[in-house]
Amino acid sequence: MSRQAREAHDGFEALAETIVRTLEAAVPGERFESHSWAHAAGGGGVSRLLSDGVCFEKAGVNFSHVHGHALPPAALEGRPDLSGAGFQAVGLSVVIHPRNPHVPTTHANVRYIETEACGDVPPRFWFGGGFDLTPFYPRLEDCVYWHQTAADLCRPFGEELYPRFKNECDRYFYLKHRAEPRGIGGIFFDNLRLADFATTLRFAKAVGQGFLDAYLPILAARRYETWGEREREFQLLRRSRYVEFNLLYDRGTLFGLQSGGRVDSILMSLPPLAGWRDLGHYDKQEPERWLREFFLKPRDWLNPGLSCEWRKQETK
């Protein structure tokens, strides 16, 4: 294993521990169960799953380090010259499906990939990752806070990073067939090399820590809000869009399935319950219609400029 792959491995493994410990501390009594697995082609991972908690209906933290003789198709987009290159991939991903519909679903990921020399193409490495938020009953202040935290963690690494990664996030988490984003976004990056390996690894770790900083206050603010059948029904409807995104578009999911990873770990991102029912009436009702009308639009969340009509609604 290269020194870099080892450092990414150790860094992401420690980050996974931190995330698991921090989340467990936030929801006393709810515990992750750990499952280690080996990859057929070499390497393996540790999947941690929290099921049926009071606060977290389902939460997963996946760490993996796999090797392969050739990058799978999902990883070749924009890098056709690397077709056939041996690779190592170290990844950490987190998905949280809270039970309370007022608490947003969220996802975070960091990954390190290095390829071996292949024909004329020299060895290469890059990082990818980010985090994004999928609220069902969004609050403006939460969305602003989420993006502000993302911008703050990016700034020490370059002023231009947040706007770039924010736009990439909007582009990536987009359901083309519904002409609708998955949520209110966050940051997303791929093919990333900052000044050097060490700086980029530091940035990836900052993204993992920034995810916790961004999510925990929103969790704390919303977890005790009351909800009932109506909010649950709407949540299950919206979660079905999450499933559609992950199975139709998500490169990480398709990369995992194509590279023969552990299916239950890869699909840990899918919600514990989701429904495809005919609930079009929510498009006309408040507050549900505000989700698609105001929040699921690409927007400068640091200066959201939402209409007065919406603000009146929010302060009711």
Does 275 participate in binding a second copy (rule CB under 8 A)?
yes
Residue whose token pair is 């995330």: 19
Taking alpha carbons only, the member of 47, 2, 74 closest to residue 255 is: 74
String of contacts with a second copy for each residue 134-173, x by CB under 8 A:
----------------------------------------
Query: Closer CB to a second copy, residue 58 or residue 166?
Result: 58
Which residue in 107, 147, 177, 281 is the catalytic one?
107
Taking alpha carbons only, the member of 300, 149, 134 closest to residue 210 is: 149
Q: What is the CA radius of gyration of the chain?
A: 19
Residue type, 149: T
DSSP line for 133-157: EE-SS--HHHHHHHHHHHHHHHGGG
Applying the rule CB under 8 A, the residues between 182 and 241 that interact with a second copy are 236, 240
Does 178 participate in binding a second copy (rule CB under 8 A)?
yes
String of contacts with a second copy for each residue 54-93, x by CB under 8 A:
----x-----------------------------------
Query: Closer CB to a second copy, residue 233 or residue 293?
Result: 233
Write down the least CB distance from residue 272 to a second copy, Å. 5
| Cβ-contact 33, 20 below 8 angstroms | no
Q: Where are the beta strands (DSSP E) in 82-217?
A: 87-98, 105-115, 124-134, 174-175, 180-181, 185-192
Active site residue 39: no
Query: Closer CB to a second copy, residue 56 or residue 189?
Result: 56
Does 174 participate in binding a second copy (rule CB under 8 A)?
no
Does 117 participate in binding a second copy (rule CB under 8 A)?
no
Number of chain residues interacting with a second copy (CB under 8 A): 26
43-51 and 56-68 beta bridge pairing: antiparallel
Residue 46 vs residues 104, 123, 266: alpha-carbon distances, Å: 25, 27, 12
Residues that bind a second copy (CB under 8 A): 49, 51-52, 58, 177-178, 236, 240, 243-244, 247-248, 257, 263-264, 267-268, 270-278
